Amino acid sequence: METKDLYFYDGYVVKNGELRKYYGDRARDGDYTYPNIAPVITEEAATRDATSITFLEGVKVLGRHLCGHSCVRSVSLPNSLEEIGESCFYYCSNMTEIILPKNLKRIKERAFSNTGLSELVIPPSVVEIGSGILSGSKAKKLVVSPNAKIPNFLIDQSRIEELRITAHQFDEVIKESQRRERKECKEDPDTYCPFGGCQTLKKVWLDDTEYDDLSLFEYATQNGCSKRTFNRLFWNTPFHTDKSMRRKRA
């Protein structure tokens, strides 16, 4: 795959290894196949009227806002893909499912915000996840790569009901919050809310164990997490202990 400076005028423009312009290789109206002439596809190559998009093997990076505000319903991603850019699929409200490739490494902020996805399963290959990747989306289930660091505001403003992470990831979040509380870094502990802002959250899985609000609080306190820290991590969710205790008394 050639990545030097090239300019083509028969449907696309490539420069410095980036697909800058694309006018569509369509089998029929709305069906687009992005060529693998360059490893990076930028926002400028967006096709807003696409209903079905196929990215060919060899494409490694989907740029920020690439498919945002499009009519796309289905997307086929290549195993060569390594990065999904910031807000890449935002406001793709007709897209109800997506299978992430096995070699994907990075998902940037708000990548799938305001989409019609019902769930998102992030493969183990992913090591970096941005905040708010499902904010405003319809997704009710999120399975996080066990090898990724939990970002701040992971499920903020989403409709997630079921979150699946590892016990190690949850313990690391507690440690990070405590590190900030001890002022071992410059970050403000009050703005660290990895699981906050999701008012629909019903259960959290740590490895193969399911927890509701009360049982997760018990698990956290047994692992040295204070009530104050726990409530900050689950700010504005049903897991906040003030809300949990009111439901329990009721």
Instruction: Determine the pLDDT at residue 154.
Output: 98
Measured between alpha carbons, how far is 175 from 173 in angstroms, rounded to an integer? Answer: 5
- What pLDDT was estimated at residue 188? 84
The torsion angles phi and psi of 189, rounded to 5 degrees, stand at: -65, -25
* pLDDT in the model for residue 140: 98
Quote the pLDDT of residue 47.
81
Cα→Cα distances 108→22, 131, 170, 199, 226, Å: 23, 8, 21, 23, 31
Q: pLDDT at residue 204 above 80?
A: yes
pLDDT band at 13 (very low <50, low <70, confident <90, very high): confident
Position 134 pLDDT exceeds 70: yes
Lowest mean pLDDT among 22-31, 83-92, 114-123, 147-156: 22-31
pLDDT of residue 189: 80
How far are the Cα atoms of 96, 100, 212 from residue 30, in angstroms, in the given order? 17, 22, 44
For the chain, what is the mean pLDDT? 90
Q: Is the pLDDT of residue 4 over 60?
A: no
Residue 96 has pLDDT above 50, yes or no: yes
Q: Kindly report, residue by residue over 222-242, the tens digit of the pLDDT.
A: 999 999 999 999 999 999 988
Beta bridge partners of 209: 206
How high is the pLDDT of residue 1?
46
Q: What is the mean pLDDT of residues 181-202?
A: 90
pLDDT value of position 26: 54
Residue type (1 letter), 38: A
Average of pLDDT values for 17-25? 79
What is 1-160's CATH number, 3.80.10.10, 3.30.40.10, 3.40.50.720, 3.40.50.2300?
A: 3.80.10.10
Neighbours of 163 (CB within 10 A): 22
Q: 26-30, 82-86, 223-227 — which one is most confidently predicted on average? A: 82-86
d(CA 122, CA 146): 9
Q: Does the structure show a pLDDT above 60 at 127?
A: yes
Q: What are the sequence ranges of the domains in the chain?
A: 1-160, 167-201+212-250
| Residues 30-76: tens digit of each pLDDT | 888 888 889 999 998 888 888 999 999 999 999 999 999 999 999 99
Q: Please, which residues have CB within 8 angstroms of residue 33's CB and are 6 or more apart in sequence?
A: 25, 26, 27, 53, 54, 56
